[in-house]
């Protein structure tokens, strides 16, 4: 075999490109394709992405480390809308402890999706997240919001915090019923929105806008003014 540095570099990696390696179980030399390596990394959650957890579905209730399972066992073949109570291992597939993060997003919306099929998923509110009598598991209470497809046993699933409303632009309408030269608008949009002002006849008006914070602004006019402010 020639020296490694005598072979040309290939900067474009394709699915069927292969590397030589050693199988751990018998120490035999084998070929491993780029596609197989990528699938191994994905399925076993070896590449960490913040806020994304990976579990394997188990039809056995509390089926072992890194698993997600249905209360009462089973679940494979059922739609995602059939899930209301689940058991989650305290560790995901790569061994990381997930308790702190899941407890933080409790009462918020989550997405449970099949790792290799993006259109197989369930969207839920994680209503409760409490430790089980077996401290290696937590029980999650779910409310189904929407989804598609069915659950597959022994399949890898990702769990993320997911709220559609987070990706939609937020707006706010403020009404000033009594004429005033100063409008203090508390909008709680958590951003610095653009502002359009109209009077009670829906005619555009002009005022100086001061952003007091990401959740409040003040509009100052040359005289008393009543109407509405549209924030987006």
Query: Which of 7-16, 102-111, 158-167 has the least mean pLDDT?
Result: 158-167
Query: Which of 122-126, 184-188, 221-225 has the least mean pLDDT?
Result: 221-225
The arithmetic mean of pLDDT across residues 168-196, rounded, is 89
CATH 2.40.30 in the chain is located at: 52-166
Q: pLDDT tens across 58-107, in order?
A: 999 999 999 999 999 999 999 999 999 999 999 998 889 999 999 999 99
Report helix, strand or coil for 8: coil
Both tokens of 114, joined, read: 């099949």
Report helix, strand or coil for 83: coil
Residue 191: the pLDDT is 85
Residue that has been written with the tokens 């075999």 in this structure: 1
For the whole model, what pTM was predicted?
0.60
- Write out the CATH class of domain 52-166: mainly beta
The arithmetic mean of pLDDT across residues 22-46, rounded, is 80
What mean pLDDT is reported for the chain? 88
Strand partners, 161: 110
Classify 147 in phi/psi space as left (phi over 0), alpha (psi -120 to 50) or beta.
Answer: left
Residue 80: the pLDDT is 96
Report helix, strand or coil for 119: coil
172 pLDDT band, cuts 50/70/90, is: very high
Compute CA 78 distance to the chain's CA centroid, rounded to the nearest angstrom.
23
């Amino acid at each position: 075999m020639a020296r490694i540095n005598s072979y040309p570099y290939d900067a474009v990696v394709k699915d069927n490109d292969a590397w030589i390696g050693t199988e751990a179980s018998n120490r035999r030399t084998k070929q491993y394709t780029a596609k197989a390596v990528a699938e191994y990394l994905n399925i076993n959650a070896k590449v960490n992405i913040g806020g994304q957890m990976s579990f394997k579905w188990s039809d056995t209730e509390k089926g072992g480390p890194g698993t997600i399972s249905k209360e009462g066992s089973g679940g494979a073949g059922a739609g995602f809308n059939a899930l209301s109570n689940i058991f989650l291992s305290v560790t995901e597939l790569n061994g990381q402890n997930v308790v702190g993060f899941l407890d933080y997003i409790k009462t918020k919306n989550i997405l449970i999706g099949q790792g290799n099929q993006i259109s197989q998923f369930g969207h839920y509110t994680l209503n409760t997240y409490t430790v089980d009598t077996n401290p290696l598991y937590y029980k999650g209470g779910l409310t189904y919001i929407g989804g598609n497809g069915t659950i597959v046993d022994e399949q890898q699933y990702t769990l993320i915090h997911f709220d559609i409303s987070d990706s939609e632009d937020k707006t706010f309408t403020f009404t000033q019923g009594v004429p005033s030269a100063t409008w203090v608008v508390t909008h709680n949009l958590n951003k610095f929105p653009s502002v359009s002002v109209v009077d009670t006849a829906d005619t555009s008006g002009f005022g100086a806008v001061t952003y007091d914070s990401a959740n409040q602004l003040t509009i100052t006019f040359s005289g008393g003014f009543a109407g509405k402010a549209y924030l987006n």
